[in-house]
Structure 1
Amino acid sequence: MSDDELYPIGDAARRSGLSVSAVRFYADIGLIEPTALNEAGHRMYDVHAIARLELVRTLRELGTDLDEIRRLLEGGTTLHDLLATHLEVVERQERTLRARRAVLRALIKQGGTTAQAALMHKLVSMTDEERERIIDDFWTGVGESLDVPEGFVDRLRAMRPILPADPSAAQLEAWIELADLVSDAGFRDAVRAYLRDAYSAPEARTLATAPFQDFIHGSGASLMEELLAAYRAGEPPRSARAQQAVVRFMEAATALSGTPLTPEVRDRMADGYRRIPAILRELAEEEPAAAYDDTHGRYLSLVARINGTAVEEDHDAIPYAWIAEAMRHRFDR
């Protein structure tokens, strides 16, 4: 194609990917006028006009309206700004469609009614402030008349969903399910009942105290990970590395109650870890385990899915017997 060569409307249409009627329409509304008319009065287009026609076709396929295209061609905006603005529109539409897909999937799964459809649409359309409010209201309700150590419910409240700005369909579906649950008085009462039963005994109340919770979720977790790293590295439980790690863990754990780490205490802790697999098997067959899975466990599982932190717990992957042997062994440091 030569810069000086002129092409009839049929060629211009074919080269730009438009129909002849579309090229004629754009000329009639003054968007892309022909470069010249030939002796017979037919419209002729040079390569620059054809390039603009091709640009118009591309932008129209992207959904850009004619007024925006006119502003671009007349210099009222740049192509970069126009495309950036249009990208925002497309991304907003994509988020809307993803939310609708999540609602439809949830409705199909639940065999939902018209009322449920309206509720689910409201749930996915909530602002961050509205989402925060219903979670706070839920935990305020759970904490009413719940006899647990001070600050325990506030710690549970801190484990909350944070729906990202661009959530996946799975995250939206998890949010719909969670928001529906925390709005249900029956679920709130079931969570309160589980927490009351789980932390009513004196020894269980100790697990809900701030020092113990700080240990479980803070220093204790890092010390246990250090111990597990020795196991994954193939260290025998009596090796110097394993012993240093296990002693640090036991010293920190016993310090919570002010108990010295004596050989007898080590034996008791070792025996406790040795029996954990059997205890877990027993719990799996009892109602309390199901109560956790249906109440607080369900809440935590959905929060993890929403936050993108869901991890499958595999109790069989934890080397309880290895840890127990490491705890029982005496190592001269």
Structure 2
Amino acid sequence: MDNRELYPIGDAARRSGLSVSAVRFYADAGIVEPAHLSGAGHRLYDVDTIARLELVRTLRELDTDLDEIRRLLEGGTTLHDLLTTHLEIVERQERTLRARRAVLRTLIRQGGTTAQADLMHKLVSMTDEEREQTIDDFWNDVGEGLDVPDGFVDRLRAVRPVLPADPTAAQLEAWIELADLVRDPAFRDAVRTYLHGTYSTDMGRSIASAPSQDFIYGNGAALIEEVLAAHRAGESPRSPRVQKAVTRFMEAAAALSDTPLTPELRDRMAEGYRRIPEIERQIAEEDAASEDPVYDDTHGRYLSLVAVVNGTAPEEETLPYAWIAEAMRAPADGV
């Protein structure tokens, strides 16, 4: 294209990707005026004005307001600032659309009513403070009068959803389900009943005690992860590294009850780990037949939804119980 050549309005329209009427409109609106008027009054455009028309077309496709385009072309703003502003607008629109999509998907899946649609819209539109209060109200109700060790409910309360500023559709859908559940009195009652039945017994109170919880989610978790890392690396359960790690884990576990780690205790713990898959099957069968609230439908459902909202849902991993049991088994020559 010759920088000095002038082009009639039809050529300018074709080269800029606009219609003739659009080029004429932008000229009349003072957005992009022609470079020259012929003696017969025909509008003529040079390379610079055609380039400006191309920019206007692009910005209009991005829904940029004409006044903003005029300010840009007149030097009242920069292209960088204009595009930055519009990126922010597009991102807000994207978040809004994502929230609407989550509501629609949930409604379609549940066969929702108009009232449910209104509720779900309110749930995804909550502020951070409102979400925090919703979870606090849930745990305040569940924990009221619950016969469990001191501090246990506070530990449960600490595991809470934190919806990111730019959530995915899956995170929004999980939050809708979770918020709907924790506001449901029947779900609150079921969680309270499950927690009472599980942690008010002697064994349950022992597990819910502060030392046991510190071990399960603190030092113990780190030690067993070290053992599992060795398994993932293909090491033998009787290798020196595995034996050292698993012994530290068992010593820490035994210390919870002030019990020395003897060869006999190692073998009992090993047998317990070996039987875990069988025990899990028995629990699953009992839960399936039970009329009482069970973990997967109560606290377990809460935790799984929180993990999705927080983006921390773990990948499924089948634990090598037989391998761990072999690692725990006491050496032939004792501890």
Q: Could you state the TM-score of these two structures normalised by the residue count of structure 1?
A: 0.96
Other structure's SS at 2:294 match? helix
Report the identity percentage. Answer: 76
Q: 1:84 corresponds to which residue?
A: 84
The residue correspondences of 1:140-219 to structure 2 (distance < 5 A) are: 140-219=140-219
Other structure's SS at 2:166 match? coil
CA apart distance, 1:218: 1.1
Tell me the alpha carbon deviations over residues 295-324 of structure 1, each in whole angstroms, 9 at most, x when there is no partner: 00000010111111112444xx21222222
Q: 1:306 corresponds to which residue?
A: 309
How many pairs were matched up?
331
Q: 1:62 corresponds to which residue?
A: 62
The residue correspondences of 1:67-146 to structure 2 (distance < 5 A) are: 67-146=67-146
What is the aligned-residue RMSD (CA, Å)?
A: 1.4
Q: 1:22 corresponds to which residue?
A: 22
Q: 2:294 corresponds to which residue?
A: 291
CA contact (8 A) 2:27 2:33 kept: yes
CA contact (8 A) 2:123 2:179 kept: yes
Tell me the alpha carbon deviations over residues 268-306 of structure 1, each in whole angstroms, 9 at most, x when there is no partner: 212211221111110110126971110000000101111
CA contact (8 A) 2:6 2:45 kept: yes
The residue correspondences of 1:219-234 to structure 2 (distance < 5 A) are: 219-234=219-234
Q: Which runs of 5+ in 1 are unaligned?
A: none
Other structure's SS at 1:286 match? helix
Alpha-carbon separation, structure 2, partners of 1:99 and 1:37: 52
Tell me the alpha carbon deviations over residues 79-114 of structure 1, each in whole angstroms, 9 at most, x when there is no partner: 000000001001101111111111111111111111
Alpha-carbon separation, structure 1, partners of 2:67 and 2:124: 33
The residue correspondences of 1:257-296 to structure 2 (distance < 5 A) are: 257-287=257-287, 291-296=294-299
Q: Partner letter of residue 309 of structure 1? A: T
Tell me the alpha carbon deviations over residues 225-255 of structure 1, each in whole angstroms, 9 at most, x when there is no partner: 1111222233222221221111100011111
Alpha-carbon separation, structure 2, partners of 1:93 and 1:12: 33
Alpha-carbon separation, structure 2, partners of 1:282 and 1:312: 24
CA contact (8 A) 2:263 2:334 kept: no
Q: 1:324 corresponds to which residue?
A: 325
Alpha-carbon separation, structure 1, partners of 2:147 and 2:325: 34
Other structure's SS at 2:44 match? strand
Alpha-carbon separation, structure 2, partners of 1:13 and 1:299: 59
CA contact (8 A) 1:238 1:329 kept: no
Q: 1:3 corresponds to which residue?
A: 3
CA apart distance, 1:325: 2.1
CA contact (8 A) 1:2 1:47 kept: yes
Q: Partner letter of residue 106 of structure 1? A: T
CA contact (8 A) 2:263 2:330 kept: no
CA contact (8 A) 2:194 2:293 kept: no
Other structure's SS at 1:11 match? helix
Alpha-carbon separation, structure 2, partners of 1:94 and 1:274: 50
Distance 1:307 1:264, change over 3 A: same
CA contact (8 A) 2:193 2:293 kept: no
CA apart distance, 1:267: 2.1
Larger mean Cα displacement after TM superposition, 40-49 or 231-240: 231-240
Q: 2:52 corresponds to which residue?
A: 52
Q: Partner letter of residue 222 of structure 2? A: S
Q: Partner letter of residue 180 of structure 2? A: D
Q: Which runs of 5+ in 2 are unaligned?
A: none
Tell me the alpha carbon deviations over residues 7-57 of structure 1, each in whole angstroms, 9 at most, x when there is no partner: 111111111111111111111111111111112111111110111011000
Other structure's SS at 1:33 match? coil
Alpha-carbon separation, structure 1, partners of 2:320 and 2:99: 42
CA apart distance, 1:332: 6.8
Other structure's SS at 1:44 match? strand
Other structure's SS at 2:40 match? coil
